[in-house]
Structure 1
Amino acid sequence: MRILVTGADGFLGWHLRCRIHATTEHTSVAVGRADWHRLSELVADADAVIHVAGVNRAEDEELVAGNVGLARDLADALASTSGVPVVFANSIQVGNGTAYAAGKAGAAEVLRAAATSTGGRFVDVLLPNLFGEHGRPGYNSFVATFVDRVVSGDTPEITDRPIELLHAQGAAQALLDALAPDSPATVRPYAHPTSVQTVWDALERFHTTYVPSADVPAMADDFERDLFNTYRAALFPAHYPLALAPRSDERGRLVETVRTHGRGGQTFVSTTVPGVTRGIHYHLHKIERFVVLDGEAVIRLRRMFHDDVVELPVTGKDPVVVDMPTMWSHDITNVGDGVLTTLFWTDSLFDPEAPDTIHEPVVRSAAQETS
């Protein structure tokens, strides 16, 4: 199936494309601002549309006109199609009297009418407050703003209140599930109940535990794991590698490579002959640590659907931690003359039924770059 994703360059659009790539055999057709003029052409070849594009922060008039206008553009493009299902990333704020809510509600009506007139299904997915890796501070989520503040050492003024949060990967799965023929016309995904102060306290605890010593903080559940991964994304690559403190005496050397304050996970050591590359994959949720204990290597990483490659040279003489950010493809190559010894740690045991390890080259071929 060819799934057209509008707003593909934005926060939720990027997470959705990652999930389509990682968990399905579908092809995502990315439509961002630069491709908006080709919308009719791209819709014509699509088997389904997930409309994520929207205006989140603007003057009241633009919040309404911008969201409705984007929906009308899509409706015009759909007019020449037949039976194409449309899934809309809407908001639970609809009906609360704000301009943003009015804009989203208006967009939903435009798309519902367009889908109905062309014989397609329309599914309205009411999303709660979202958070996740690579959100924009001051725009996508208060969580992104909090992460930016905790990394920079600033403490914000907090007005505490209860709130429900959903990781962007959970939202992406809800949008994909809505494509099923038996999906209800309106979907409201489950969100994790928490509070504004609780989120800040967790982020502050992560930061004071993780950065000084590379210790992995305790995480009570998957929500806190996703929050930790969101925090880690803001650290990368400026704060990596993380230094370790080897201890030596007449007997030799000891390096504490993984100290976890919560879940134990899985640790293993591998050897790699010169010139060989390991890894070549990415993860949606898993935390994975590389520590070279002997030899010389280069760790390379690339954020999904981006081109820039980050290279980190590492050596066993000065062991450091590199924790792989989620949704970044990564590999490690032995660039020395001898055998490379590397310790790997993941926060969870490997599950062959749900490996969360998706093959993806770090350096893309010319064909991949144009797809």
Structure 2
Amino acid sequence: MNILITGAHGFIARNLIHVLQSKELSFLQPLKLYTYDRRDAIEDLKEYLTDCDFIIHLAGVNRPQKAQEYEEGNKGFTQFICDELIQHRNTCPILMTSSIQAVLDNDYGRSKRAAENCLRSLWQKNGNKIYLYRLPNVYGKWCRPDYNSVVATWCYHLARNQDIQIHDEQKEITLCYIDDVITEILNCLQGKATVADESDFYKVEPTTRCRLSELRNILYSFKNEQQNLTLPNQTAFVKKLYATYLSYLPQENLSYSLTMHQDARGSFTEMFHMDTYGQVSVNVLHPGIVKGNHWHMSKNEKYVVVAGEGNVKLRNLYDDDHKLLTYHLSANKMEVVDIPPGYLHCIENTGTQDMVVIIWANEVFDETYPDTYYKEV
């Protein structure tokens, strides 16, 4: 399949092109990509339009210096594509990303509606199958900040400890994630486009409706996670926002130090805190060292040895015989030992090198209620 992508240097196109170049998509093989941006030669575009099997029309103007550029960049450029296809009798399908603002009576909205109508006319005259998507606010990696995306703008500034501006906290916006847009485009290429409820439009799913104040609060919660180690609750929406926020971190801020609590036995380091999923820590034991010798009322844990070897020992306080359970763990054969509440437990390094244990606990450690009761196993 020969695919032409317009607006090739734009946000959506960059993501799409990398996916198409990186994935072995059997339904597209062999694949040839034609890419066009306004900085490229128009003669190249004319050549592509004679040979392409599918057009993904992502080009458009949304922040011009003059209002007339809306008409030229949206309707005018789309009409040029349609005229070339008709001239060369190319009946390939064409997907165009329009905007939810096409319903508005302003220069931008009118120009996007006019571009949509150009494609409808193409379908009637030339038989090209058309896929019209009125996209809401799209967010994700590589979106240009301080341009037309509030998510990109706020993520960029918060990641640099700069203030963000909000004029109407109650204003609601509809958002969709770049990966979901790319997935829908791939579905469309396979003839599996998602039909919208109205007219001849198609849609990207899912979308999220939220107030600007809610969006701001979520993004602010990411700001100090490197200091307090708290990872966000991974709802579907927050997961996508968090991935987006991380993509705007300055490169010098991609790494950060953890606090190691060291003594003669080794070290203990908290890695991540998760409000609803507990915490992850790293426990290092020198050879011959035993740690633990305690039990919990409700807290439960999972142990995995990732370096060295040793024993995890448990006794169920409820059993009258207090039977000793011993599990030998080694990095050569990784396995998990569950530590239920009500079990005395300890871990011992039986090897000749440091033993490194990854520990997940179902709750973040609370100094006011540690739920830890010491007793020899």
| TM-score, with structure 1 as normaliser | 0.66
1:40 has 2:36 as partner: no
Query: Which amino acid in 2 is paired with 1:158?
Result: H
- CA offsets 1:228-260 (integer angstroms, 9 cap, x no match): 011000004231222222221111123333333
Does the Cα contact within 8 Å between 2:166 and 2:212 map onto a contact in 1? no
What is residue 198 of structure 1 aligned with on the other side? 214
What is residue 14 of structure 1 aligned with on the other side? 14
Does the Cα contact within 8 Å between 1:49 and 1:87 map onto a contact in 2? yes
CA, structure 1 residues 167+343, in 2 after alignment: closer, same or farther (shift >3 Å)? Answer: farther
What is residue 128 of structure 1 aligned with on the other side? 136
Query: Which one of the candidate residues 64, 78, 99 is aligned to 2:85?
Result: 78
Query: Which one of the candidate residues 59, 62, 71 is aligned to 2:69?
Result: 62
- CA offsets 1:65-84 (integer angstroms, 9 cap, x no match): 22112213322432314220
What is residue 155 of structure 1 aligned with on the other side? 164
SS of aligned partner of 2:165: coil
Which structure has the larger Rg over C-alpha atoms? 2
Distance 1:35 1:253 in 2: 58
Distance 1:2 1:135 in 2: 26
What is residue 90 of structure 1 aligned with on the other side? 98
What is residue 260 of structure 1 aligned with on the other side? 274
Gaps of 5+ in 1: 269-291, 295-340, 345-371
Query: Which amino acid in 2 is paired with 1:146?
Result: W
Distance 1:44 1:237 in 2: 43
Q: Which has the higher contact order (CA 8 A, sep 6+)?
A: 1
Distance 1:181 1:84 in 2: 13
Query: Which amino acid in 1 is paired with 2:34?
Result: V
Does the Cα contact within 8 Å between 1:11 and 1:140 map onto a contact in 2? no
CA, structure 1 residues 225+182, in 2 after alignment: closer, same or farther (shift >3 Å)? Answer: closer
Distance 2:57 2:46 in 1: 14
Per-residue deviation, 1:62:
1.6
What is residue 261 of structure 2 aligned with on the other side? 247
SS of aligned partner of 2:159: helix
Distance 1:41 1:175 in 2: 23
1:53 has 2:54 as partner: no
Alignment of 1:1-371 (within 5 A): 1-20=1-20, 21-22=22-23, 24-25=25-26, 26=28, 27=31, 28-37=33-42, 38-58=44-64, 59-79=66-86, 80-153=88-161, 154-160=163-169, 161-181=171-191, 183=193, 184=195, 185-190=200-205, 191-208=207-224, 210-219=225-234, 221-262=235-276
CA, structure 1 residues 266+12, in 2 after alignment: closer, same or farther (shift >3 Å)? Answer: farther
Per-residue deviation, 1:206:
0.9
- CA offsets 1:30-64 (integer angstroms, 9 cap, x no match): 32234352112223332101100111112322222
Aligned-residue sequence identity (percent) comes to 26
Distance 2:265 2:281 in 1: 24
Gaps of 5+ in 2: 283-305, 309-354, 359-377
Per-residue deviation, 1:145:
1.2
Distance 2:153 2:35 in 1: 27
- CA offsets 1:150-193 (integer angstroms, 9 cap, x no match): 12321313312122110112122223333444645411334212
What is residue 315 of structure 1 aligned with on the other side? none
> What RMSD, in angstroms, separates the aligned Cα atoms of the two structures?
3.2
- CA offsets 1:98-131 (integer angstroms, 9 cap, x no match): 2111111111122332344333201111111111
Query: Which amino acid in 1 is paired with 2:74?
Result: N
Distance 2:357 2:24 in 1: 28
SS of aligned partner of 2:154: helix
| TM-score, with structure 2 as normaliser | 0.65
Query: Which amino acid in 1 is paired with 2:270?
Result: E
